[in-house]
């Protein structure tokens, strides 16, 4: 264990390389998820707008909701690169940073896609019942919880290094 | 009416996300119970026509009431333009329009062979093939100008009519060919497959009931029944052999027990099967409503198109009823259930 912690590389990569990889994965995965999620919600919202442009206000909120995961991934990447990068001098710490990036990468990626679906269904609902926009957003926010938990888990893991 | 026995699953298809959004907005504009009531409450046809403009048909009602049929046909054409515009893979919705091609083929074949007037049964601009082309093919008996499925159906109906010389032959052959085509096109979409099976059953039950009430022989029914419904042909034939009073009981575990029971009671009272037609349409609309649960896919588009068709049918019924001085209760009885 002592030897592994002091090794110059883990699985052939230096601590910094692992940290970079962690930052890239955190933002990359969460960002892709957000793009897909917004893509799903946005296309349905566009369809509704084609018929009823007045609903832009409520649809904007719903379409933007799956975008938050990308921000969470970005925050994690930022923290790795600008706050914790010093610790990556030790290869194992760098590797742990990579591990710490995974919760937001995975939870962000998947939750953004599923949130996009909930928001797409919400956009369909608003098309018929514009007064229920609050409920559509609340249901979308339920999915958000798990992206937030992913971000918190990633931050806690980074703090534990 | 319970539809609990029918399973529904959708083929989620993100390519239809935009189309589904637009359909959801359009669904909100379909006539609901309150809007139908407004039309029914109009004292006469002219007032009903005005009320129609107030409930959303502003463009259709630009013409005078005398031209209501053309106005409704033009609404139907717009509906099919929308379907063609929103569909991602034409094959998935072309069968909707092809129903009109087959209908036109039937109308022209009947005109040629039985001397019936085509009249208003022809709606240009809705099907995939211009009615003129179908008319020419029927007149000249040169089928090659038509798309393969239509040509095959027309040629077969024509040939079989020559042997049987019965008008029903045309109906049976064309319905069989059309349903076979639709079944091919919707395969892989569980929701649409069930819809087609539901249609098949309803058409078979109507054939069966009419044949029974008109004392037709078993051979006719055997030829007329369409394959591949949820009710098997053997079960239907067994039903045909039994007394009509037992049918509702026999079908109580299916979707159709109540429909048959109520239709038979209406037949006893009024010697009319109009209620059967209404209840069949209601059953279909209630099934179509499930497409509201689909996130996105071709299903909401198809369901909207069919729901709108039924809405146009309802409007036509209200106008004809008002023009003939029927009471609003008498018209309301015939109206199909609303999709919204």
pTM: 0.90
Rounded to a whole number of angstroms, the distance from the CA of A79 to the nearest CA of chain B is: 35
B26 touches A at CB < 8 Å: yes
In the predicted model, is pLDDT for residue B5 greater than 70? no
Averaged pLDDT for residues B302-311:
96
Q: Is the pLDDT of residue A132 over 70?
A: yes
Q: 10 Å Cβ neighbour count for B270? A: 10
Q: Which of B20, B27, B28 sits opposite A44 (nearest CB)?
A: B20
- pLDDT tens digits, one per residue of B107-159: 999 999 988 887 778 888 899 999 999 999 999 999 999 999 999 999 999 99
CB contact under 8 A, A44 and B21: yes
> What confidence tier does B103 reach under pLDDT thresholds 50, 70, 90?
very high
Per-residue pLDDT tens digits for B68-80: 999 999 999 999 9
Per mean pLDDT, which range of A140-144, B65-69, B303-307, B317-321 is the poorest?
B65-69
Report yes or no: A30 at the B interface, CB cutoff 8 Å: no
Contact B147, B128 (CB under 8 A): yes
Dump pLDDT digits (tens) for A145-155.
999 999 999 99
Is residue B322 scored above 60 in pLDDT? yes
Q: Label residue A2 by pLDDT band (50, 70, 90).
A: low
Q: What are the CA-CA distances from residue A61 to residues A46, B14, B180 (Å)?
A: 13, 21, 46
Q: Measuring CA to CA, which residue among B258, B216, B211, B254 is closest to residue B235? A: B254
Q: Which residue of B has its CA nearest to A49?
A: B22
Best A39, A63, A124 member to test B by mutation, with max B CBs in 10 Å, is A124
Two tokens, residue B196: 């087609």
Distance from CA of A135 to the nearest CA of B (A): 17
Cβ contact B323:B49 at 8 Å: no
Q: Is B39 on the interface with A (CB under 8 A)?
A: no
Residue A89 DSSP SS3: helix
B86 → chain A, closest CA residue: A47
User: DSSP code of A54?
Assistant: G
CA dihedral B61→B63→B68→B74, nearest 10 degrees, is -80
Nearest residue of chain B to residue A43 (CA atoms): B18
Tell me what percent of the residues of chain B surpass a pLDDT of 90. Answer: 72
Of all residues in chain B, what percent carry a pLDDT higher than 70? 98
Residues of A in contact with B25 (CB under 8 A): 47-48, 50-52, 55, 127-128
Provide mean pLDDT across the span A59-64: 94
Q: A52 and B25: CB-CB below 8 Å?
A: yes
Q: How many CA atoms lie within 13 A of A46 on its CB side?
A: 12
pLDDT at site B116: 84
Of A44, A46, A128, Cβ closest to residue B296: A44
What distance in Å separates the CA atoms of residue B96 and residue B126, rounded to the nearest whole number? 9
Check residue B6 and give its pLDDT: 66
Separation CA B135–CA B110 (nearest Å)? 11
Question: For position B66, what pLDDT does the model report?
Answer: 87
B-chain CB neighbours of A114 within 8 Å are none
Band of pLDDT at residue A39, cut at 50, 70 and 90:
very high
Condensed to tens digits (0 to 9), the pLDDT of residues B242-265 reads 998 899 988 888 889 999 999 999
Contacts of A120 in chain B (CB under 8 A): 17, 20-21, 295-296
With 50 as the cut, is the pLDDT of residue A120 above it? Answer: yes
Q: What is the pLDDT of residues A69-93, one digit of tens each?
A: 999 999 999 999 999 999 988 999 9
- Note whether B88 contacts A: Cβ–Cβ < 8 A: no
What the block records as the tokens of A119 is 């928001």
Which residues on chain A are in Cβ contact (under 8 Å) with B14? 40, 43
Q: Is A88 at the interface with chain B, CB within 8 A?
A: no
Q: Which domains does chain A have, with CATH numbers?
A: 14-159 (1.20.120.610)
- The answer to whether residues B280 and B202 touch, using CB atoms and an 8 Å cutoff, is yes
The confidence score (pLDDT) of residue B8 equals 72
The answer to whether A115 and A65 are in contact (CB under 8 A) is: yes
Of B276, B193, B259, residue with least CA distance to B10: B193
Please give the ipTM for the structure prediction: 0.83
Give yes or no for a contact between B118 and B109, defined as CB atoms under 8 angstroms apart: no
Mean pLDDT of B227-254: 89
pLDDT grade for B1, boundaries at 50, 70 and 90: very low
CA dist., res. A92 & res. A14, Å (int): 9
Report the residue from A43, A121, A125 with minimal CB separation from B18: A43
């Amino acid at each position: 264990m002592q030897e592994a912690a002091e090794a110059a590389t883990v699985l052939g990569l230096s601590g910094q390389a692992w940290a970079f990889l962690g930052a890239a994965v955190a933002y990359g995965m969460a960002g892709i998820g957000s793009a897909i999620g917004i893509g799903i919600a946005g296309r349905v919202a566009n369809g509704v707008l084609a018929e009823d442009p007045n609903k832009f206000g409520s649809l904007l909120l719903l379409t933007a909701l799956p975008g938050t995961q990308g921000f969470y991934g970005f925050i994690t990447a930022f923290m790795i690169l600008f706050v914790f990068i010093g610790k990556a001098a030790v290869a194992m710490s760098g590797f742990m940073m990579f591990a710490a990036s995974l919760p937001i990468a995975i939870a962000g990626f998947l939750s953004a896609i599923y949130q996009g679906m909930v928001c797409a269904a919400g956009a369909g609902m608003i098309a018929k019942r514009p007064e229920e926009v609050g409920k559509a957003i609340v249901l979308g926010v339920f999915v958000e919880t798990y992206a937030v938990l992913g971000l918190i888990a990633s931050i806690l893991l980074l703090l534990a290094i | 009416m319970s539809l609990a026995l029918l399973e529904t699953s959708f083929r989620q298809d993100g390519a239809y996300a935009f189309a589904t959004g637009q359909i959801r907005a359009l669904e909100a504009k379909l006539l609901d119970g309150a809007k139908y009531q407004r039309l029914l409450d109009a004292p006469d046809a002219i007032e009903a026509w005005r009320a129609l403009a107030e409930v959303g048909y502003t463009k259709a009602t630009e013409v005078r009431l005398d031209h209501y049929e053309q106005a409704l046909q033009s609404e139907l054409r717009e509906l099919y333009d929308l379907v063609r515009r929103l569909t991602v893979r034409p094959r998935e919705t072309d069968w909707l329009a092809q129903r009109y091609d087959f209908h036109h083929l039937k109308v022209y074949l009947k005109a040629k062979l039985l001397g019936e007037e085509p009249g208003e049964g022809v709606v240009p601009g809705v099907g995939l093939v211009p009615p003129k082309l179908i008319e020419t093919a029927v007149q000249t008996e040169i089928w090659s100008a038509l798309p393969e499925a239509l040509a095959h159906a027309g040629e077969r109906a024509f040939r079989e009519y020559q042997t049987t010389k019965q008008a029903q032959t045309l109906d049976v052959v064309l319905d069989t060919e059309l349903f076979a085509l639709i079944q091919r096109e919707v395969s892989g979409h569980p929701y649409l497959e069930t819809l087609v099976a539901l249609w098949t059953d309803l058409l078979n039950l109507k054939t069966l009931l009419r044949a029974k009430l008109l004392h037709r022989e078993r051979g006719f029914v055997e030829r007329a029944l369409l394959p591949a419904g949820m009710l098997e042909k053997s079960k239907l034939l067994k039903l045909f052999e039994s007394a009509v009073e037992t049918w509702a009981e026999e079908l109580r575990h299916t979707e159709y027990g109540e429909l048959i029971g109520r239709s038979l009671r209406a037949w006893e009272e009024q010697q009319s099967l109009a209620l059967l037609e209404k209840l069949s349409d209601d059953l279909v609309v209630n099934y179509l409503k499930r497409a509201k649960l689909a996130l996105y896919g071709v299903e909401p588009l198809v369901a909207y198109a069919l729901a709108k068709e039924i809405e146009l049918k309802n409007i036509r019924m209200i106008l004809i009823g008002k023009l003939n001085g029927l009471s609003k209760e008498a018209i309301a009885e015939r109206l199909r259930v609303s999709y919204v």
